[in-house]
Structure 1
Amino acid sequence: MEISVDRDRCEGHGLCAEQAPAVFDLDDDAQVVHHFDGRAVPEDQVAAARAAINSCPVAALRELT
C-alpha cells in the first residue's frame, strides 16, 4: 500500500504517529513525516497505517489505490 499525505491539511494532532509510529512521525513544526514517502508501506505495517489514516481528524492521509 502507498499513502498520500496532504501536509497543507495536516494540523499536527499526532494521532497518526500514535497509531503507526513505524510509518509516521511529527517533525519539529508538528507536521506529519511519512517514513515510506514514495514507497510501499511494509506488509507488517499496513494494518497500523490504515488505523492511522482512519484516525486523522482532518483527513490529511489517504490510501492510494
Structure 2
Amino acid sequence: MKFNEAGYRKLLAFISVICRALMQTIGYIGLYSFFMLKRKILLNFLFFLLSYKHQDSIGINKI
C-alpha cells in the first residue's frame, strides 16, 4: 500500500482546523464565564455597600 502524502496533509489540516475551532470555543466560554463571575462578584459587593444594614453597622445611618 502506497503512502498518500497529499491525503495525509489534507487530513492533518482538517484535524487542525477542528481542534483550533474547538479550542477557540472553549476559550471564549472560559473568558465569558470569568467576566460574568467577576461582574457578579462586583455587583454583589456594590449591593452590599449600598444596603442599609451595612451602612447601619458602620454608623452611616445612625440617628
What's the TM-score, normalizing by structure 1?
Answer: 0.23
More helix by share: 2
The structure whose Rg is larger is: 2
- Of the two structures, which has the highest relative contact order with CA contacts closer than 8 Å and spacing of 6 or more? 1
